[in-house]
Amino acid sequence: MIQRRTLLAATLAAPALSACATTDIRASLPELPRDTQSYAKPDEARVLHVSLDLQADFERKVLAGSCTLSIAARDDAREIVLDVKGLNIGLVSGNGRTLPFVIGESNGARGAPMTIQLNGAREITIIYETSPDAEALQWLTPAQTASGKPFLFSQGQSILTRTWAPTQDSPGIRQTYDVRLVAPADLIAVMSAEMLTPEGEIVEGGRAFRFRMRNPVPIYLMAIAVGDLVFGSVGPRTGVWTEPTVLERGLYECADMEAMVRTAEALYGPYRWGRYDVLILPPSFPYGGMENPRLTFLTPTFLAGDRSLVSLIAHELAHSWSGNLVTNAVWSDSWLNEGFTTYFEGRIIEALYGAERATMADVLGWAEIQEAIRTQPADLQRLHLLDPAADSPSAIVYEKGALFLRTIERIMGRTRFDAYLRSYFDRYAFQPMTTQKFLADFRDRAVRGDAALEQQLQLDAWAYEPGLPSNVEEPHAEAFDQVDHFVSDFVAGNPPAAAPWENWGTFERQRYLQTLPRTLTRQQLDTLESSFALNELGNNEVLFNWLELVVNNQYDPGVPSLTHFLTSQGRGKFVRPLYRVLMTKAEWGRPIARRIYAEARPMYHPIVAAAVDRIVGV
Ligand code: BES
Ligand code: ZN
């Protein structure tokens, strides 16, 4: 506490700081919990603004140029510590002079600390370029895109921004930024920011684009993409960016986006980022979606042709509040981003498509939680994770997190809980959050000393204990009763009737395939396949559930479909588990995994390839 007061006082007094180009330094130094995933020492010196001037060199697969950082620092601060990973650093300067720096020892995932002597400077410029295998960047060749033109995109979460920009890469350290990027003249650059020059300006060496983010954001949300991109409008503040041949399908799938933004606002207050556009990426995009502000990045695997997978958009949009406005201060609290967002996603889906659809998603989530509780060690079953490195999309963080909030809602009533959430987003907008702070705030504002309510809620058990507290209620979706009935019927030896499958939506089909016994006979698999043409499924979520059965049961007639699936998209959630099960089927699966992977690996994103390398043992 003393340290904080000194810091603020020093900041207010420092003449060097008032001369600094960035605004309102005084408001920018809230106390931060220790982030073990970052080397930064934000209590001593903190980045407030990042200014990048880069060239995208597709031949060499590097971004090259400069990064200028505006800094707030204690008067007595001699140095600033940044996070860097694989960056090639040239000169560092400030106040017109060269500044000495050292890059410390690198620790695998975290990269290395870069310590720069400030010599009084509060604005420093780093000349640098990225490495061709920067994990945040994927450079796609013309053969890997729909347009036949090259493509580049970045993915910062959780700690990969440090592989393309030298700054403090911790979600509690919010920064504004501006970017000038020179791309090849025939390509378009877009960013998670205001696009100041939509057409770009032809300059020497290509076409220059300028961007600006005036809201302070955690820097994992800074994202860029370059490709043969076109834009189609959906509503007044919503639209779709993608390669030309994908635009029509994209616009069809995203038709409800404007309504989604309105629905979200009606729930939890104004959308504070201006536009909400989405960028549909080439199939190697490693996630379903990424909530980059103003421009959500999406996998093309959600294009089902019937809008049945649009909860992905609802999810990423919801992050505009939970995650992007109020942000987990450290990654061990990522449930504050993902669990809140999964809850919020369900509320948007319920408002737009009805309670039954939302409940079906809850029930599928419940099954995922049960599976996690059965298979994961206790430490990975807590919402507040003891090891933040465990952060990756997990059923606990998403589904148990959402179930916690649904439990609160059920106990205290929707009206009261909604009022609380709305004020939470308002009061903590653009601020970092921790589990402890959320619980304290919730007790302060919502529980308000009501001992009976406190006892009913079991807040600490939910946040800090493994498993599920005793006040949990299993969700129930009527529509699944019929599905479960058909599963038992099939297990009892009756041939499956084609009729219900034809009429089922995505969730019912997923429920059916997920609840079939994991071990099936060749004959059962033949019957299923021929009844429902499972190898030809166009919906990737359902197809994935079928391919899990194919691999588990070493079902040869499914292998061509599996091969196509694994070589035509690279979404980690689909790809990793299928290789993992293949590798457990020694005689049968390993040669298949190696053959498919040899073909697919060049297409996979660096982080997915690294994960599959470990699985397949390359
Ligand atoms: N923020 C996540 C993606 C992410 C998580 C990236 C962890 C890096 C580390 C995004 O909002 C997300 O949750 N995506 C999901 C889709 C969603 C509908 C559950 C995904 O990618 O599958
Ligand atoms: Zn998410």
For 416-433, how does the pLDDT look when each residue is reduced to its tens digit (9 = 90+)? 999 999 999 999 999 999
Task: Specify the residue with its C-alpha closest to ligand 1, atom 17.
Answer: 312
Tell me the CA–centroid distance for residue 272 and ligand 2, in Å.
18
Question: What are the structure tokens assigned to 68, written together?
Answer: 């200028």
Residue 3's pLDDT is: 35
- CA 328, 330, 335, 337 torsion: positive or negative? positive
Among 280, 290, 301, 607, which is best to mutate for testing ligand 1, by the most ligand atoms less than 8 A from CB? 290
Minimal CA–CA distance to 228: which of 210, 242, 247, 240? 242
For residue 90, how far is its CA from the centre of ligand 1 (angstroms)? 35
For 496, the token pair is 């499956």
Strands (E), 408-548: 431-433
**Which atom of ligand 1 is closest in space to residue 287's alpha carbon?**
21
Give the closest residue (by CA) to ligand 1 atom 21. 288
Mark whether 316 is an active-site residue. Answer: yes
- What are the tokens at 130? 């990225």
Calculate how far, in angstroms, residue 342's C-alpha sits from the geometric centre of ligand 2: 7
Pocket test for ligand 1, best of 135, 155, 221, 287 (most atoms within 8 A of CB): 287
Return the sign of the alpha-carbon dihedral for residues 131, 135, 136, 140: positive
Q: Where are the alpha helices (DSSP H) in 112-239?
A: none
Scan for tokens 């820097």, then name that residue: 219
- Which amino acid, residue 391? D
Q: Which of 39, 177, 343, 398 is catalytic?
A: 398
Using an 8 Å Cβ cutoff, are 230 and 236 in contact?
no
Which pLDDT score, from 0 to 100, does residue 390 have?
56
Any idea which ligand is nearest the CA of 339? 2
Please choose from 328, 337, 338 the residue to mutate so as to test ligand 1's pocket, defined by most ligand atoms within 8 A of CB. 338
* CA–CA separation, 268 and 270 (whole Å): 7
What residues are in contact with ligand 1 under a 6 Å CB criterion? 157-158, 287-291, 312, 315-316, 319, 338, 392-393, 398, 573
Q: Is 577 exposed, middle or buried (0-12, 13-18, 19+ CB in 10 A)?
A: middle
Rounded Cα gap, residues 365 and 104, in angstroms: 43
How far is it, in rounded angstroms, from Cα 415 to Cα 417? 6
| Phi, psi dihedrals of residue 377, rounded to the nearest 5° | -65, 155
Question: Any residues with CB less than 8 A from the CB of 417 and at least 6 apart, and which?
Answer: 405, 408, 409, 446
Q: Answer yes or no: pTM beyond 0.75.
A: yes
Angle, to 10 degrees, between the axis of helix 559-568 and the axis of helix 572-584? 140
- C-alpha to C-alpha distance for 175 and 408, rounded to whole angstroms: 33
What are the backbone dihedrals phi and psi of residue 98, each rounded to the nearest 5 degrees, phi first?
-70, 140
pLDDT tens string 147-202: 999 999 999 999 999 999 999 999 999 999 999 999 999 999 999 999 999 999 99
Burial-class residue 588 by CB neighbours within 10 Å (0-12, 13-18, 19+): middle
Verify cis geometry, omega within 30 degrees of 0, for the bond prior to 322.
no
- In this structure, which amino acid lies at residue 410? R
The pLDDT tens digits for 448-492 are 999 999 999 999 999 999 999 999 999 999 999 999 999 999 999
190 near 295, Cβ under 8 Å? yes
Of all atoms in ligand 1, which is nearest to the CA of residue 315?
18
3-state secondary structure of 119: coil
Query: In the chain, which stretches have pLDDT less than 50?
Result: 1-28
Site of tokens 């993992």: 580
For the chain, the residue count is 618
**Residue of the nearest CA to atom 18 in ligand 1?**
312
Distance 315 CA to ligand 1 centre (A): 9
The number of CA neighbours under 13 Å toward the Cβ of 523 is 5
103 CA distance to ligand 2 middle (Å)? 33
User: 3-state SS of 222-253?
Assistant: CCEEEECCEEEEEECCEEEEECHHHHHHHHHH
